[in-house]
Every structure is written in structure tokens, then in C-alpha cells.
Amino acid sequence: MENTLKDFVGLLEHLVDVELKTPVAQYTEASGLCETVNLRLGQESSDDSLIRVLKDVLEYTPKVATNKFFNQLFGGRQPKAVLGELLSVMLNNSMYTYKVAGPQVLIEKEVLARCLQLLGLEKFGSGTFCAGGSMGNFMSMVMARDSRIPESKEVGVVGKLIAYTSSGSHYSNAKNASFCGIGRQNIRYISVDSGGVMIVEELERQIKSDLTRGLIPFYVNATAGTTVLGAFDPILEISKIARQYNVWLHVDGAYCGAVFFSDKFKHLISGVECADSFSFNAHKMLGTPLSCSILLVKNGEDLHNSFSNEASYLYQTSNDDLNLGKTSFQCGRRNDALKLWTLWKSVGDKGLREMVDKLFALAAHAKKYVVSTEHYIDYGIDNSLSVCFTYKGVDSSWLCKALYESGNLVVGHGSFREVSFVRLVLVNANNSFEDIDQFFRILEKFVEEHEQVIAES
């Protein structure tokens, strides 16, 4: 192991060096890559040749932690969170019992308890770490089903259950409806306003219409930070409808739920304490390694009710309170808590708040530039970490692809109401205002150099 650790440190130093020199990995077609890097399995490798091929793999792998990567809802690298993650890999505990995870259980419980407290849910609340935002949505739908029709847990879904979410919500809702036995056709996509926000009157109208047809509304999934625009649904208003019609409200904060760490921005999810469940991804706004996804439940019993199962070969010591397997989806479950705990322990509440505030400041900086520069048309909304724009006369999907293949920048495009635009995502709190300025400089220089190609297309 000791030699492997030395090799590991060497490889990491190499990676950091590569990231500095080539922040955007050289684009290579997948077919060519297999020839360039020896990925074939079969024969054994000497340690030296293994290190050599690993170095090649590191070089060609897309770099998501650099200041040229804006493509996804995660990016950057918080060193203290990486430290926690590496330790959890070495420790390799599974989080189901106190017997095999010891203090790691208490660490997970501390993170959950602090989140519940900041959200005002500490009284009856509970939570778990799940494999990602998609799974958080899934688990909330299962709890909604079980609390509405308790026998569905034992005999299968009874009656026609109907779920509601906005047309801008995450695609996992559709898959989850299928996994839960609800069926994809039984999701109602509620229309959104010009800012991508769910229209609450439409939600109520749809629920009423389903009730008159003898259907059973059971679940609303509101989004705190929609995947494309970064829009926040009005949670308080939706929660009133949900209560009135006895419907479970889940708030999908995978992208931007972490605003609750900031006094300045937590108003974006005001009313979250009225929701039945809430999830957020620390691997998005808070910059921890993937995955670090938290699901919080207002009435902790619901989590236990849907996800506990007896297993005499597993639960042999301690009580359910310390055996986290009784409230999680998985059996063996990796330790996703330690990385967030290590980061949080290091920077405190204040540090997390500053990260959130910094992201909004970066987004505001980018938006201001877009709005005040005549090359651009702004398609974004206020208070969003997704800065959406087009460069006049340039096709956004062409531009993003060309920037990526030329090794300049990695950024993606999205669309809303038939308009396609560049979506610059500001989720790396290590970025500076200068990094944002540099982004636009590179983009503009690229467009200038390709005027001919653009004019001909």
C-alpha cells in the first residue's frame, strides 16, 4: 500500500500540473482515443507501464475543476472536501450500521442535524444521504405514495395516483414515476411563466380537474433552481395548495437548494419548512466531489416507514437511531458525509454562506456583462446561477461544440420556449471575476477568428 500511496501522490501532482497547462483536455474522437491510449484489458502490466497509461488517461480526461469548465451544474474542487473524500475511500466503511461505521455515523447525523436546524425542521425531521438528486426525487415520490396509500407498500399501487411538476423540472421525475409504479403518463407537467417558474393557478386547476375524474393527486415536485434556467418555484404558495389537497410536496433543490446556507439568498426557497421533503446536492453549489446529495424529511417517520426493512444478518447491535441502513435506499452505502463534514468543519457556517454568496456575485457579474455588451442577447432570469445568452448571429450549439473541440472552453447550451442559448453555469466558488471576464474574452476572440465560417453557415 505504501508504494501505491507514493504513486498516487505522484499521479495527483501530475494531474494538477496538466490542469494548469491544459485546462481543457485535448479533444479526441472516441474511436481514436482507444488507439492513442492503451485501454485494452487482457495482458498484465508492470507497475511502470500501469503508471504510464494512467498518466495518459489523466491527460485525456475532461477537466471539470479548472476555470475553463462551465458545462455542468458542478465544477471546481474544494480541497478540504477532497481531503474528506479521499479518507472515506481509504476507510471504506459502509454507512448502514454503527458497528461498521462508528464515528462516521455520528458525522453523517451531525451534518443532517445541522441542515435540519438551518431549515427549521429539527423538531421531527430526519434525513439521509442518497446517491444523487435523481434518487432524492425518487425517494420522496416513494414516501408520498406510501403516506397517501399505505397499503401500496405491501400490495402494490392501488388507484390512479397523479404527480405534478413543472415543465422545467428535472427529467428524473419521469423515470421515477415509472419506477414507483405510477407510470410516466400520470405526471402532469404544469406550465411555467416567462421566468421558468411554475404557475400555481395552473397547478390547482389541474389538481381539481384530476379530482373530478376520480384520480388521486398525491405528489408535487417543486424545483429550487431548474436545471436549464435556474428558476425557483414559489414554495410557500405551492405548499398551501399541497396542504389543501392532501398532496405531498417535495422541493428538488439539487441545483440551488444550498441557498439555505446564505441569509441573503435563502428567501429564494422561503416556505421550504412547509414542504414534506427537500433535497440538495452539495456536489453542485458547494463544490464537494460527486456524489454528495442530501434528502431531508419534515416528519422523519416517513423515511423510516418507506425505507426500513428487518435484516437479522445485518442489524445486530445498536438501535435504529444509529443504524442508518434503516432510513436509506441502499444496503451497502458509501460514505458521502465525510467530505461535506470536513469542508464544513474547516470553513464553518460562515464559509459555506460565503461560497453561496460568491456564486451569485459571479453570476451577477456575468449577467451584467451580457446585458451591457451589444454582441449578446440575454435570455436568463434574475437571481440565477445559469447565465443564458446568445452571441448575435452565432448558432449557440455550433459555438459550444466548436469551443470545446478547439480546446478553448467547455460550456453547454440549453433552450427555453424554442430559443436555444449558451448556458454559462456559475457553480465553482473558486472562480474569480477575472475568470468570468476571461471566459468572455476567449469566446469573443474565437468568434472573431471564425467570422468567415460563421458567415458561410
Ligand X SMILES: *Cc1c(COP(=O)(O)O)cnc(C)c1O
Residue placing its CB nearer to ligand X in the complex, 37 or 425:
425
Residues from 136 through 175 that contact ligand X (CB under 6 A): 170, 172
Q: Does 132 bind ligand X (CB under 6 A)?
A: yes
Residue 52 region by backbone torsions, left for phi larger than 0, else alpha for psi between -120 and 50, else beta: alpha
Chosen residue from 133, 271, 289, 325 binding ligand X by CB under 6 A: 133
CA distances from 419 to 90, 169, 276, 408 (A): 47, 18, 35, 24
Residue placing its CB nearer to ligand X in the complex, 223 or 239:
223
Stretch that binds ligand X, among 126-134, 139-147, 352-360, 376-384 (CB under 6 A): 126-134
CA distances from 307 to 37, 103, 155, 300 (A): 44, 23, 16, 11
Whether cis (ω within 30° of 0) applies to the bond prior to 291 is yes
Stretch that binds ligand X, among 23-31, 220-228, 341-349, 362-370 (CB under 6 A): 220-228
CB environment 347-370: b (16+ within 10 A), e (fewer):
beeebbbbbbbbbbebbbbbbebb
Cα 191–chain centre separation = 23
Stretch that binds ligand X, among 132-140, 200-208, 389-397, 398-406 (CB under 6 A): 132-140
Q: Does 388 bind ligand X (CB under 6 A)?
A: no
Per-residue binding letters, 59-98, with ligand X (x by CB under 6 A):
--------------x-------------------------
Residue placing its CB nearer to ligand X in the complex, 255 or 261:
255
Residue placing its CB nearer to ligand X in the complex, 133 or 217:
133
Q: How far is the CB of 134 from ligand X (least distance, A)?
A: 3
The 3-state DSSP composition of the chain as helix, strand, coil percent (nearest 5) reads 50, 15, 35
Chosen residue from 97, 147, 227, 396 binding ligand X by CB under 6 A: 227
Q: Does 134 bind ligand X (CB under 6 A)?
A: yes
Residues from 279 through 318 that contact ligand X (CB under 6 A): 281, 291, 293
Q: How far is the CB of 255 from ligand X (least distance, A)?
A: 4
Chosen residue from 223, 277, 327, 383 binding ligand X by CB under 6 A: 223
Q: How far is the CB of 421 from ligand X (least distance, A)?
A: 17
Of 420, 443, 427, 290, the residue nearest 373 (C-alpha): 443
Residue placing its CB nearer to ligand X in the complex, 88 or 227:
227
Q: How far is the CB of 229 from ligand X (least distance, A)?
A: 11
Query: Would you list the DSSP string of 131-164?
Result: S-HHHHHHHHHHHHHHHHSTTHHHH---S-EEEE
Query: What are 195's three cell numbers?
Result: 421566468
Q: How far is the CB of 432 from ligand X (least distance, A)?
A: 24
Distance of alpha carbon 115 from alpha carbon 113, whole angstroms: 5
Chosen residue from 19, 204, 252, 302 binding ligand X by CB under 6 A: 252
Count of residues that bind ligand X according to CB under 6 A:
15
CA distances from 154 to 52, 142, 205, 312, 444 (A): 54, 13, 32, 20, 60
Stretch that binds ligand X, among 5-13, 26-34, 194-202, 222-230 (CB under 6 A): 222-230
Contacts 24+ apart (CB under 8 A), 453-457: 454/393, 454/394, 457/395, 457/398
Distance of alpha carbon 197 from alpha carbon 233, whole angstroms: 5
Q: Which residues contribute to the site for ligand X (CB under 6 A)?
A: 73, 132-134, 170, 172, 223, 225, 227, 252, 254-255, 281, 291, 293
